[in-house]
Amino acid sequence: MGTSILNEQDYYRMVYGGWLGKNIGGTLGAPIEGVKELLNLDFYPELPDGPLENDDLDLQLVWLHALEQYGPGLTCKELGQEWVEHVFFPFDEYGYAVTNLRRGLVAPVAGWFNNPFTNCMGSPIRSEIWAMVAPGSPETAAHYAYHDAIVDHAGGEGVYGEMFFAAIESAIFLEQDRDRLIEIGLTYIPPDCRTALAVKDLLIWHKEGKSWTEARSLILLHHGDDNFTDAPQNIAFTLLGWLYGEDFEDAILKAANCGYDTDCTAATLGAILGMILGPEGLPEKWVKPVGDRVVVSPPIKGFPAPANLDELTRRTIRMGKHVLAAWDTGIMVHPELPTSWSREADGEAAVQSWWDRKVTANHYLLPQGTCEVPDLELVIDYGDKGPSIGREQSKSIEISITNNSLVVQEGNMALDLPAGWQGGSEKQIKLQPGETIHWAAEIRSSAEAAPTYDLALRWVRMHDGHKWSAQRVPFSLVAAMHWTVWGPDNEEGKNVIFAGSRMDWVDALMTSRDGVYRAKTWIQNPSKRKIRLIAAANAPVKAKLNGTSIIDCQEVLEFMPAYHRPQKDQFLELTLPAGVHELDIEVLKQGDPLEVYVLTVSTGETQTPGSYYSYIDMLFVNQ
């Protein structure tokens, strides 16, 4: 494969067009986001003076800052840190991921654990930055998209959606045939994932001559979900606009008029078409209202955001030059030579290997700080219950260590545990080059409850019978939730420990009969505060706090365990005094499997932008 040339003016034109199209589509779709009916828009529903703020672009500005701060070796670890430092959004998967990151967890575990929104659109909407800093290198763009998406969507369709779009958008620099681009994107995601199946069905319906409204109905029938942010259906709506649209305007309008996550569908398609057409190819009637400004949502803060699209484009290109060089892509950005390509855009086996990575495990490279070619690779697997532990509870942590060096590695491993805990005793190991050793470390917590627990894996290397060096890899466990539960068959309560916010009566009681299910716990609140107490359920649900009824929802509502948008009859806001408070939950199962989450988050009244965050210092314990 020879050197490929990307002319710098071509690069600028495509990146600027993509960001401009992103702003146009986001501004079109934002005011009607979440409307599930077939719409009939023919222009912006709200005529703005500049673009509307939108998380579709906001988060990518943070990722550009992350690239500038950490460089091309950026991984999910650094992106997770960016969430904690700069992103104060509570929305769906964002809220759950930030909660986990604040508790000391890292991706992919932070993006998977206790997160009911991993199949949603929060990551597919932020694919453009990775394509633009890896122009013509879809495998590189998909690599970054994977690391980005697992921070808040690990194990879900959101990961595949972002990899799909990142690959398409990067390949636009090489190839601008629509059908070929979609084909390329599909090579970067599992062929049997929901996203791939929805896309492939849409392609069939389009080829069969179905109208765009018929195709929309079929998408909802075969791939739809009640949650308007579900990724497979919205990715299909995005491509529907592309397949059926006669021009830029018609395409983004058809995508938005499908309804559901309209800002996401129109913004992503706007970015794709903006990259293909360039800014000069976008209609003036759509460009003029948004202009060239960059607007940032108030909860995104603490970093130097670009003031306009020119600055955003130039900073993107600057980092793109670094990425192309660091990844040895063979792509050169040149100020004078014309663009010429000598590479292909199909998916690579290295990308496909990520599809089956365990979301219950975190990976570490040793020595710490290593970006690639590590001497040792460490994997800490928390198991299916995740990184939580209750009081006086036993837990097995699966630890594996692989010797990637060319010499024998001899030493011992041990776990550093909180005071009063048991287990994790020292294990002697001798690793041949290429060998992997597995250790099932059994630990038991003490009776002292805390919101989070700090642990560490300690590796001491020996040489000639003496200690030579030592490394300490910190990791965290979080407090599980203690409840007493009853089912239709139980007169006496059973003390159980739930790993997270989900109330799993089936697992606890080994029954799924219809009838009344109850649960009782005590909330330890360390300080007086205003809280939003949520009992999100797909069944009639009641809640009592200290014996007083606070929730009495007698309808079956769409299940929505989001911090910022729970069902109005399934939460209450109140001022909770410091101390211990009794909480009782009751649900009526009537056929469908129960889905119930109990959450305590802040209200919308915060001193600075960034509301509805989880109170991670509140404990759920038995008396």
* Pairwise CA distance, residues 197 & 194, whole Å: 5
Beta strands 466-479 and 452-463 are: antiparallel
Three-class secondary structure of residue 109 per DSSP: helix
DSSP 354: G
Output the six-digit token pair for 185: 């994107």
Tell me phi and psi for residue 21, to 5 degrees. -65, -35
Pairing, β 331-334 against β 4-7: parallel
Which amino acid appears at position 142 of this protein? A
Q: Whole-angstrom Cα distance, residue 295 to residue 246?
A: 30
Write out the binding residues for Mg(2+). Answer: 261, 263
Q: DSSP readout, 551-568?
A: EEE-S-------SSS--T
378 φ/ψ angles, rounded to the nearest 5 degrees = -110, 135
DSSP conformational letter for 391:
T
Question: Is the Cα dihedral 436, 360, 134, 203 positive or negative?
Answer: positive
If residue 285 lies in a helix (H) or strand (E), which one and from where to where?
A: helix 284-290
| Identity of the residue numbered 432 | Q
Q: How far apart are CA 562 and CA 142, in angstroms?
A: 28
Structure tokens at 591: 């056929």
Would you report the helix, strand and coil content of the chain in percent, each value rounded to 5?
35, 25, 40
Torsion angle, CA of 547/550/553/558, rounded to 10 degrees? -120
Q: What six digits make up the tokens of 597?
A: 């989450």
Alpha helices in 108-156 (DSSP H): 109-112, 128-133, 138-153
Neighbours of 4 (CB within 10 A): 20
| DSSP type of residue 52 | P
How many whole angstroms from its chain centre is CA 232? 15
Q: Give which of 504, 503, 509, 507 is closest to 486, Cα–Cα.
A: 509
Helix (H, G, I), strand (E, B) or coil at 455: strand
* Residue 468 CB neighbours (<10 A): 12
The residue among 622, 612, 618, 623 whose CA lies nearest residue 88 is 612
Binding residues: 261, 263
Distance between CA atoms of 580 and 250, rounded to whole angstroms? Answer: 58
- CA 53 vs. chain centroid, Å, equals 20
